[in-house]
Amino acid sequence: MRAKQCAAPERIWAAVTPAAPNRRAVAVILLVPLIVTLSLWAFSWPAARIAPRDLPVGVAGPAPAADQLQQAFEQHEGAFEIHRYADAAAAREAIGDRVVYGAVVVTGKSPQLLTASAASPVVAQLLTEAVKGAALAGAAVPVTDVVAAPKADPRGAALGAGILPLALAGVAAGAMITLMGLRGSRAALTLVGAAGLVGVAATAIAHSWLGVITGDWWTEAGAIGLTVLAIGSAVAGLAALLGTKGIGLGALLMVLLGNSFSGVTSAPELLPEPVGAIGQWLPPGAGGSLLRSVAFFDGAAASGAALVLAAWAVLGLAAVLTGGRRKPKAEEAVAPGHAREPALTS
């Protein structure tokens, strides 16, 4: 009788087991093209649609000539956000405060262009080409780089390429903490320690060795560490609330969307709407903006990005601590005081 009872489950298992690999194979066949399609959309679409969208630009000088220059900018509907300044000194100050990316100063002979390649080499080149193209034939347009990118990275390529490794470091920290079974305060402290060391190591490479960032050393290390902490806390927090699938969701959010929408290789105002705005609310975009501010602009306009990163870090750590108070599913499956019954064997 017992043999018959055991035979029925075995027949059922034999009938079900072959279907499971087939379902997994179908899932792989469908998921891989989907992931590739999403990746191409996230990375290629914004890059293929780069153009100024409400790009902050200054116009300085006496009213009649400055008015004509402003009207010339406004002919490109929706492309530029014009800020008026009394003179070149005020325009320079606005560039240093990261209010505008550049400014055109009206002078007696020809306009003068002020740029900030440290804010965005792509925007500096765009403004140079636009102003020179609009000038009278043969008229020279002097260009002054008010806040220049470092000589070691004049095109901002190293800074732009550095955001992806930081995103990967944050995702790796959150995933390792989850898979190693660290929970609660121990997981939170591990995240903080790992992010701090990443900040020190990355600054040693980018500042001390390569020379691609040139601000205060410890402030840069803090900005990088906060970026990694925000990403790692978000991934670990999602995993604490959703299980291991939260790691995949966090990686999708931080790497696929956060990195491609960050605008760090160009500028948020050059990306299609609302991609640029969304990117600044995600840690990679906010981290890139914060690092640029502390590295080249003495911390100007850094508060907004710092608050975004701090919010992600606090919410992520709160989720990690909350998830640490819950019992693992394996423990919840067995009621207190009751041993798990051994499985039937034939």
Q: How many CB atoms lie within 10 A of CB 339?
A: 7
Q: How far apart are CA 168 and CA 260, in angstroms?
A: 13
Q: Are 111 and 135 in contact (CB under 8 A)?
A: yes
What percent of the chain has pLDDT above 90? 68
> SS3 for 64?
helix
Helix (H) or strand (E) holding 245: helix 245-251
Average pLDDT, the chain: 88
Better pLDDT: 25 or 155:
155
Strand partners, 165: none
pLDDT in tens, 165-218: 999 999 999 999 999 999 999 999 999 999 999 999 999 999 999 999 999 999
The DSSP bridge partners found for residue 115 are 145
Alpha-carbon dihedral 29, 32, 36, 37, rounded to 10 degrees: 50
pLDDT the model gives residue 245: 92
- Asked if residues 302 and 294 have their Cβ atoms less than 8 Å apart, the reply is yes
Beta strand 55-60 pairing with 103-105: parallel
- Between 140 and 56, whose confidence is greater? 56
- Phi, psi for 118 (deg, rounded to 5): -65, -30
Burial call 280-316: b when 16+ CB within 10 Å, e when fewer = bebbbbbbbbbbbbbbbbebbebeebbebbeebbeeb
Tens digits of per-residue pLDDT, 255-273? 999 999 999 999 999 999 9
Per-residue pLDDT, 335: 45
Count of beta carbons in the 10 Å neighbourhood of residue 17: 9
